[in-house]
Amino acid sequence: MAKGKINVAVENIFPLIKRFLYSDHEIFLRELMSNATDATLKLKHLSSIGEFKENLDDVKIEVKVDKKGKKIHIIDQGIGMTKEEVEKYINDIAFSSADEFLEKYKDEKNDSGIIGHFGLGFYSAFMVGREVEIHTKSYMKGEDAAHWICDGSPEYTLKKSKRTERGTEIIIHIDDDSLEFLEDQKIKELLLKYNKFMPVPIKFVLKKLLILSIRQKQQKIKMVKKQRRIKK
């Protein structure tokens, strides 16, 4: 197991992220869905040039809300990351862009426009989460799955994960000031607002009632009873 400290000028970046992005917390879902989509499309690209042989017809992105456990899970079947890639892309690059953003806009007023342009990305999860975990397994054969945990301080833990399937699961432990995001209706609303026309199907099961399947091919939204399967 590795413990590390993210290299950062601001000692604790996350309260700042929260403060500056206050009016626009909901974009965390859009950012994480966009990462999940990128990861899936990267794998599809590798497949199209013959570097990945498994079937990708049914790949999807799943969103799960665990209200009791106060968690949101975003699960993709994309390219995944090795431990080294987590270190590089999450600890170094993504964090430095969050850090850079704060350095630049520390004294500015809330401006959600700026944030959108900046592409704060992964770390926007800390706008609603008190802790964020990543379980990820690379598409590359023989690579161990990695488990990254960060509680909002620049310290993180990176160890082996038990994940056996290719792809990435992001788990956000929702903060007490953001409990509204544990409501199915809220997540449904955000998925419809930001992710209606994404190139990868989304699965989101609304508790007991419905499966919301956002299907890009027909570019329409379909609600079906839980008992029915989602057809491609």
Nearest to 143, CA basis, from 112, 122, 125, 165: 165
Contact region with Mg ion (CB under 5 A), list: 30-38, 96-104, 149-157, 169-177: 30-38
CB of 37 to ligand ADP, least distance (A): 9
Sign of CA dihedral 91, 93, 88, 27: positive
- The encoded tokens of residue 185 equal 């209706």
For residues 64-123, which are near ligand ADP according to CB under 6 A?
Answer: 76, 78-81, 89-90, 94, 119, 121-122
Q: Is 190 in the site for ligand ADP (CB under 6 A)?
A: no
Q: How many CA atoms lie within 13 A of 105 on its CB side?
A: 22
Nearest to 76, CA basis, from 128, 19, 33: 33
DSSP state letter for 82:
-
Beta bridge partners of 155: 5
Which one of ligand ADP, Mg ion, none interacts with residue 36, CB within 5 to 8 A by kind?
A: ligand ADP
Q: Is 39 in the site for ligand ADP (CB under 6 A)?
A: yes
- The encoded tokens of residue 11 equal 């000692």
Tell me the number of residues near Mg ion by CB under 5 A.
Answer: 2
CB of 94 to ligand ADP, least distance (A): 4
Which one of ligand ADP, Mg ion, none interacts with residue 52, CB within 5 to 8 A by kind?
A: none
Tell me the number of residues near ligand ADP by CB under 6 A.
Answer: 16
Rg (CA), the chain: 18
Nearer to ligand ADP, 89 or 194 (CB): 89
Where on the chain is the footprint of ligand ADP (CB under 6 A)? 31, 35-36, 39, 76, 78-81, 89-90, 94, 119, 121-122, 168
